[in-house]
Amino acid sequence: MKALFISLLLLFSISSQAAVWDSQYTWDQRWEEQYSDWVRTSWNQYIFTDKDSPYFGIPTDCADAGYAMRAIFAFENSLPFAIVDPTKRGSKIPITNNIKRWDKLPAGVPRLKAFMAYLAGIVYTGTMAQDSVPVALTSEALIPGTIFVKPKVHSYQIKDWSPQGIPVTINSTTPYSVKDMHKYLSFPAYIPEDVKTFRDGYRRFKRPNELYKMDSTLPGFSLEQFIVSERLNFNSVDFNDFVIKRTQTTQETMEDKTRRLMFNICYSSYNRASVINESTNYFYKIQGQGRSCMNASEFDQYSTFSRDKRLKEYFVRLYKYIQRTKSFKGASFPLKAYALDIFVNDPSKYQRTRKQFLKFCTVPYDTGKILDVREVWQRLRFDLLVQNPNTTNDWRWGDYSTPFTTSCPTFEEIH
């Protein structure tokens, strides 16, 4: 019987030499093109929430989603996936799909999901720079599959680029959970600014054989975006206009642009509502457990500092566009009155009624309470929105004009 036991052990140890998935091919330009096509056609905001998706149930926050995009394509096409080990730069042993840690799990998606969860524990937006390389601001370089990284803040996946020169982005955000990602026809809320170390901006993922080579020797490497950004005094409107001119094949009309900017405002406001609901539910939950304050990790998950900054940026973009476009006031199109109304401070001078505005965009934020985007802007501009998660929906949405105070400790987000 002892021999039988040893034999079984031997068998088990042999069968345990299994990678997350086996890679049969090598990344080359042809695969990069297929990857880009796949991102354009198959990478979508519901990939982790659609019950028919094989990847249903994978939780993400911002950086995980970018890595997942590259890893899932590699998995589906038997290609290698490798990133620099962020815990030991000198080692040059990358983290790859060859890890044999999950060999007890069935091959295929279950192992991939375990690998994704592992990656989520070690990567964040700060590690994306070492796994990617900055690219030029050209339509040849800014293709689907490119990522935009703002280390320690946020990241986006470029799903497509419109004929008008506007990126279609997908992004996930905190909390780390299974959720729909966000799809925007919009530039990232940030522009390249890191003219010291070039770790942010538009980047392409490195292939496994490129991980430890000097960035500047890699195909497509370019510092152009940093130089352009610095020359434009880091002005996001000017920078994005530069990119539009570089990539557009069709002119974006005033109506198109207004609609795009207003859609982003509505979508971001609406989204904030669902995040705040989740946060408040969690806040009640910890109170039920006898705690009155979130710890640093929970605070990081449920605070909305970055999110609110981006939301404000969307309003500011529309405002600046209206201000800078001399022909705006003389133009005639249905959304114009709505766009102008947002920035009118005296309600008696509104062109559209609340009912009309709510038809355009309703933000339900508490039981029986709704806001239109004009009201969201008024609360944003007076800094009434509360980013601290140790409170309830009404405070988070600025129902009170008195400043929010808390005895709970506050922390900073690290994404």
Q: Is 233 among the residues that bind another protein (CB under 8 A)?
A: no
Residue 280 token pair? 């408040």
d(CA 54, CA 74): 15
Exactly one of 36, 222, 268, 279 binds another protein (CB under 8 A); that residue is 222
Exactly one of 35, 75, 102, 124 binds another protein (CB under 8 A); that residue is 124
Is there a contact between 99 and 115 (Cβ–Cβ < 8 Å)? yes
Q: Smallest gap, in angstroms, from Cβ of residue 197 to another protein?
A: 4
Kindly identify the residues of this chain, within the stretch 150-189, that bind another protein according to CB under 8 A: 152-153
Q: Which stretch binds another protein (CB under 8 A): 102-110, 270-278, 297-305, 347-355?
A: 297-305
Neighbours of 68 (CB within 10 A): 25
Q: Rounded to whole angstroms, what are the CA distances from 214 to 205, 210, 242?
A: 14, 8, 28
Instruction: Compute, in degrees rounded to 10, the torsion defined by CA atoms 52, 58, 59, 64.
Output: -120
The contact pattern for another protein, residues 303-342, with x = CB under 8 A and - = no contact, is: ----------------------------------------
Q: Is 8 among the residues that bind another protein (CB under 8 A)?
A: yes
Q: Is 42 among the residues that bind another protein (CB under 8 A)?
A: no
Whichever of 10 and 331 has its CB closer to another protein, that residue is 10
Query: How many CA atoms lie within 13 Å of 272's alpha carbon, on the beta-carbon side?
Result: 31
Query: How many CA atoms lie within 13 Å of 366's alpha carbon, on the beta-carbon side?
Result: 10
Q: Rounded to whole angstroms, what are the CA distances from 226 to 32, 137, 161, 271, 357?
A: 24, 10, 20, 31, 40
d(CA 141, CA 222): 10
Whichever of 153 and 158 has its CB closer to another protein, that residue is 153
Q: Which stretch binds another protein (CB under 8 A): 63-71, 118-126, 250-258, 341-349?
A: 118-126
Q: Is 30 among the residues that bind another protein (CB under 8 A)?
A: yes
Is there a contact between 94 and 130 (Cβ–Cβ < 8 Å)? no
Exactly one of 46, 59, 86, 354 binds another protein (CB under 8 A); that residue is 86
Q: Which positions touch another protein (CB under 8 A)?
A: 1, 3-4, 7-8, 10-11, 14-15, 17, 24-26, 28-30, 32, 85-91, 93, 95, 99-101, 118, 121-122, 124, 126, 136, 152-153, 195-198, 209, 212-224, 227, 295-297, 299-300, 409, 411-414
